[in-house]
């Protein structure tokens, strides 16, 4: 079984902002909180759930924190469409770059994974965890509960991730830290967005507020999309600054946002 070279690794900061060249990671309150929480989780070798609506910066915050704290021992899995324990086993086999072919029998597969996960401390990140079912979470708990494995686990996902875990006391009781991601607070919008990308540094603060009210709604993903469109618009028109007219052009591209 061959592994893709990039599978399981942490993305670079540029990959986190793939839509927007020159975008900068901004030290928001949510990002600073994530760093504190992840530090505690790694120290305790525990489990954490970072949850909230799509586009609010969960994955970027977790990735950037782990790039700083544990870049060489972090392994990321993205398991979509209701992953089963079998999917998790194969995802771990691939992310850990284990040699040979995966065992066919679950009991042998689990023994192999537990042996490997007992060799040294590792951080396992389950991204897009909103797709995880109860049985999927139970499998992660099974690995973490084993007295020989040496791991911390971070789930990053939508609200369904929180709901599934909270419904099951045996699962919820094992989550050391819960962190909810919310929209960027109104009081942070202007300084955060001005620092996010050079095109906003000279923009009228009132226009930034208006864009947030009309289209971005405190979502980093929405802001990234609008920033990418406006960067293209500035290049096409030769303009030096974001204007209301250019914003209107960007809105025409994201109707319904």
Per-residue pLDDT at 17: 67
Per-residue pLDDT at 170: 87
Segment (H or E) for 152: strand 151-157
Mean pLDDT of 128-148: 93
Q: Architecture of 13-180 per CATH?
A: 3-Layer(aba) Sandwich (3.40)
pLDDT tops 90 at residue 2: no
User: At 227, is the pLDDT very low, low, confident or very high (cuts 50, 70, 90)?
Assistant: very high
The CA distance from 32 to 91, in Å, is 30
pLDDT tops 50 at residue 255: yes
pLDDT tops 60 at residue 88: yes
Q: What is the mean pLDDT of the chain?
A: 92
pLDDT tops 70 at residue 160: yes
Distances in whole angstroms, Cα of residue 104 to Cα of each of 17, 82, 107? 39, 21, 9
- Give residue-wise pLDDT tens across range 34-52: 999 999 999 999 999 999 9
Per the CB < 8 A criterion, the answer to whether 50 and 156 are in contact is yes
- b/e map 74-91, b = 16+ CB within 10 Å: bbbbbbeeebebebbbbb
């Amino acid at each position: 079984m061959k592994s893709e070279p990039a599978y399981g690794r942490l993305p670079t900061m540029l990959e986190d902002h793939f839509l927007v060249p020159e975008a900068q990671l901004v030290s928001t309150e949510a990002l600073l909180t994530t760093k504190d929480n992840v530090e505690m989780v790694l120290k305790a070798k525990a489990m954490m759930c970072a949850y909230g609506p799509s586009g609010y910066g969960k994955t970027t915050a977790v990735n950037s924190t782990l790039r700083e704290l544990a870049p060489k021992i972090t392994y990321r899995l993205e398991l979509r469409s209701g992953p089963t324990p079998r999917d998790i086993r194969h995802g771990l086999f691939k992310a850990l770059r284990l040699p040979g072919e995966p065992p066919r029998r679950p009991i042998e597969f689990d023994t192999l994974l537990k042996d490997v996960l007992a060799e040294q401390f590792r951080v396992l990140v389950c991204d897009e965890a909103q797709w995880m079912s109860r049985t999927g979470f139970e499998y992660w708990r099974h690995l973490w509960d084993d007295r020989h494995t040496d791991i911390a686990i971070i789930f990053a996902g939508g609200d369904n991730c929180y709901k599934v875990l909270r419904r099951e006391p045996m699962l919820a009781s094992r989550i050391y830290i819960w962190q909810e991601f919310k929209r960027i607070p109104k009081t942070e919008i202007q300084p955060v967005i001005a620092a996010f990308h050079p095109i906003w540094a000279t923009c009228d603060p009132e226009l930034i507020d208006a864009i947030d009210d009309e289209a971005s709604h405190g979502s980093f993903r929405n802001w990234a999309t609008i920033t990418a469109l406006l960067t293209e618009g500035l290049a096409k028109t030769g303009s030096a600054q974001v204007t209301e007219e250019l914003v209107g052009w960007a809105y025409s591209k994201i109707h319904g946002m």
